[in-house]
Chains A and B, each alone.
Chain A
Amino acid sequence: MIMSQKRQNVMIKGTKDGFILKLDDQCGYDVLKEEMVEKLSVQYNSIEDHAVKAKIEVGNRFLTDDQKEELKEIVHRQKSLIVEEIYSNVLTVEESNQLIREREMSSLTGIVRSGQVIEVEGDFLLIGDVNPGGMIMAGGNIFILGALKGVAHAGCYGNNEAVIVASQMTPAQLRISTRLNRAPDQDDESHEMECAYIDENDQIVVDRLQVLRHVRPGMTKFEGGR
């Protein structure tokens, strides 16, 4: 029985959250694919429930987006399992740089003037004003040490958790993710040290800076201290 002594490239584990498919990272991709089809085609009577979820762990194997789709397709076709996540230990340099950019805080000291558009992928810190007609777009949060009189767009690639903070909050428009809010036509109040975020009603609200601690506790990255 030579076949049975062959290494198992695909291992299926059942957990209470669904199945975990552990794939070997040393064999060839085509071998892996074949074995997956084979393993999954074995009839398990117990799983006829369509809502079962699965996770794929590929170890140190790098998969392209096409390959990921292919694996998901195989799993779905054979067993109607829904693949929630493909977990790999490997990233391309480009992907890791993208992650760094998304987590990075870029800063600028100066004034964003009319007609100027600043776009960053991560958080943005401006030390200066945004004048009317100027615009800031950030994939993450926007912090302005100065007056926001132009347009600020936080979470511009679709992050609803993003916030906008300004020393003087008198914007022409606020945008967070896909929501938009414009300044009232008549407003004589002073707006100092304020923040804007999307509340539970899916609206952009502007409030005192201090509330941010409660509505966005995940923003704190600092640990320790005494």
Chain B
Amino acid sequence: MGDAIVITSGKGGVGKTTTTANLGTAIAMQGKKVCLIDTDIGLRNLDVVLGLENRIIYDLVDVVEGRCKVHQALVKDKRFDDLLYLLPAAQTSDKSAVTPEQMKELVEQLKQDYDYILIDCPAGIEQGYKNAIAGANRAIVVTTPERSAVRDADRIVGLLEQEEVDPPVLIINRIRNHLMESGEMLDIDEVTTHLSIDLLGIVVDDDQVITAANKGEPVTLNPDSKASIAYRNIARRILGESVPLMAIAEEKPSFFQKIFSLIGKK
């Protein structure tokens, strides 16, 4: 029996889809069988981030309306042998094409075959959100260190607490080190005390996330990027390992390093 985890935020544009794609990739890299579900019907883009757009034949709406079997709609990611699958959202219908009951049934069915099911939730708290959380038994709330995003995350946490899911955990995304140090951005402590839920991980703002998403390959595949390390750490925490929080402060170059770099420049 697998775990169904919904990834949600309330506010749009904080990185739900990117987080879903990268955590899915990172969990698959740990050798677990993962299925990603895009519930953003009408505005799908998890397939784009994963670079699987042109392999879609059937979608979520086709499955719930009985036009195909679940396994026919699942798109396999060839980069991971038989470990990562995507159930794409429909682009032509809207959120009301699926009901929470249908989602619940679908997720229950997928739980038999997969270790982890990651559900990418659309922004907002309407039908799409209700569909996304229907089948989940765990929840991850993504926020950025901005007041507006934290406010919406707070609302979402309140709504999740009324659902039959485990207490939600938090990912703080797009951390900008210099702004946080200068106090112009909310720091991690402020966000976590405000929301008072457990912190699952932090991800620094990294240009490579954007370039990788544009190429259709999650940044997690790149072993050097800071965001990639963050996502892989979070994935290990989801699997139950205890991994210390990444240091966000960049190490200041020491005196000798400065001298060496000066010599190097010559």
Task: Name which residue of chain B comes closest to A113, CB basis.
Answer: B158
Write the nearest CB–CB distance from B125 to chain A, whole angstroms: 8
CA distance A185 to B159 in the complex (A): 30
Task: Check A131 against B152 for contact (C-beta < 8 Å).
Answer: no
Assess whether A97 is interfacial by the CB under 8 Å rule.
Answer: no
CA distance A164 to B251 in the complex (A): 47
CA distance A19 to B161 in the complex (A): 59
Task: Name which residue of chain A comes closest to B160, CB basis.
Answer: A113
Assess whether B151 is interfacial by the CB under 8 Å rule.
Answer: yes
Assess whether A116 is interfacial by the CB under 8 Å rule.
Answer: yes
Question: Which residues of B lie under 8 Å from residue A63 when comparing CB positions?
Answer: none
Question: Which residues of B lie under 8 Å from residue A133 when comparing CB positions?
Answer: 151, 154-155
Task: Check A114 against B196 for contact (C-beta < 8 Å).
Answer: no
Task: Name which residue of chain A comes closest to B147, CB basis.
Answer: A132
Write the nearest CB–CB distance from B4 to chain A, whole angstroms: 23
CA distance A134 to B161 in the complex (A): 15
Q: Is the interface of A mostly helix, strand, loop or mixed?
A: loop
Question: Which residues of A lie under 8 Å from residue B194 when comparing CB positions?
Answer: 131
Write the nearest CB–CB distance from A11 to chain B, whole angstroms: 59
Assess whether B157 is interfacial by the CB under 8 Å rule.
Answer: yes
Assess whether A145 is interfacial by the CB under 8 Å rule.
Answer: no
Task: Encode contact with A along B135-163: 1 for CB under 8 Å, 0 otherwise.
Answer: 00000000000000001101101110100
Question: Which residues of B lie under 8 Å from residue A131 when comparing CB positions?
Answer: 154, 194
CA distance A132 to B223 in the complex (A): 40
Question: Which residues of A lie under 8 Å from residue B155 when comparing CB positions?
Answer: 113-115, 133
Q: Which residues of A90-142 have CB atoms within 8 Å of chain B's CB atoms? A: 110-111, 113-116, 129, 131-134
Task: Check A115 against B158 for contact (C-beta < 8 Å).
Answer: yes
CA distance A132 to B161 in the complex (A): 17
Write the nearest CB–CB distance from A113 to chain B, whole angstroms: 3
Task: Name which residue of chain B comes closest to A149, CB basis.
Answer: B194
CA distance A42 to B155 in the complex (A): 69
Q: Which residues of B200-218 have CB atoms within 8 Å of chain A's CB atoms? A: none
Write the nearest CB–CB distance from B118 to chain A, whole angstroms: 24
Write the nearest CB–CB distance from B150 to chain A, whole angstroms: 9
CA distance A114 to B196 in the complex (A): 13
Task: Check B154 against A129 for contact (C-beta < 8 Å).
Answer: no
CA distance A131 to B157 in the complex (A): 12
Q: Which of A111, A113, A129 has the most CB of B within 10 A?
A: A113
CA distance A131 to B155 in the complex (A): 9
CA distance A111 to B167 in the complex (A): 13
CA distance A115 to B152 in the complex (A): 9
Task: Check B196 against A111 for contact (C-beta < 8 Å).
Answer: yes
Task: Name which residue of chain B comes closest to A146, CB basis.
Answer: B196
Write the nearest CB–CB distance from A148 to chain B, whole angstroms: 13
CA distance A110 to B194 in the complex (A): 12
Write the nearest CB–CB distance from B194 to chain A, whole angstroms: 7
Question: Which residues of B lie under 8 Å from residue A113 when comparing CB positions?
Answer: 154-155, 157-158, 161
Write the nearest CB–CB distance from A127 to chain B, whole angstroms: 13
CA distance A43 to B200 in the complex (A): 85
Write the nearest CB–CB distance from A96 to chain B, whole angstroms: 32
Question: Which residues of A lie under 8 Å from residue B151 when comparing CB positions?
Answer: 114, 132-133
Task: Encode contact with A along B178-216: 1 for CB under 8 Å, 0 otherwise.
Answer: 000000000000000010100000000000000000000
CA distance A192 to B155 in the complex (A): 25
Write the nearest CB–CB distance from A132 to chain B, whole angstroms: 6
CA distance A147 to B161 in the complex (A): 20
Task: Name which residue of chain A comes closest to B153, CB basis.
Answer: A114
Question: Which residues of A lie under 8 Å from residue B161 when comparing CB positions?
Answer: 110, 113
Write the nearest CB–CB distance from A212 to chain B, whole angstroms: 28
Task: Name which residue of chain B comes closest to A112, CB basis.
Answer: B158
Task: Name which residue of chain A comes closest to B154, CB basis.
Answer: A114
Question: Which residues of A lie under 8 Å from residue B157 when comparing CB positions?
Answer: 113
Question: Which residues of B lie under 8 Å from residue A115 when comparing CB positions?
Answer: 155, 158-159
CA distance A134 to B159 in the complex (A): 12
Task: Name which residue of chain B comes closest to A111, CB basis.
Answer: B196
CA distance A116 to B161 in the complex (A): 11
Q: Which residues of A contact B (CB under 8 A)?
A: 110-111, 113-116, 129, 131-134
8 nearest A-B residue pairs (beta carbon): A113-B158, A114-B155, A114-B154, A115-B155, A113-B154, A116-B158, A131-B154, A114-B151
The contact sample of 8 A-B pairs, CB cut-off 8 A, is: A110-B161, A111-B158, A111-B196, A113-B154, A113-B155, A114-B158, A115-B158, A129-B196
6 additional A-B residue pairs with CB within 8 Å, beyond A110-B161, A114-B151, A129-B196? A113-B157, A114-B154, A114-B155, A132-B151, A133-B154, A133-B155
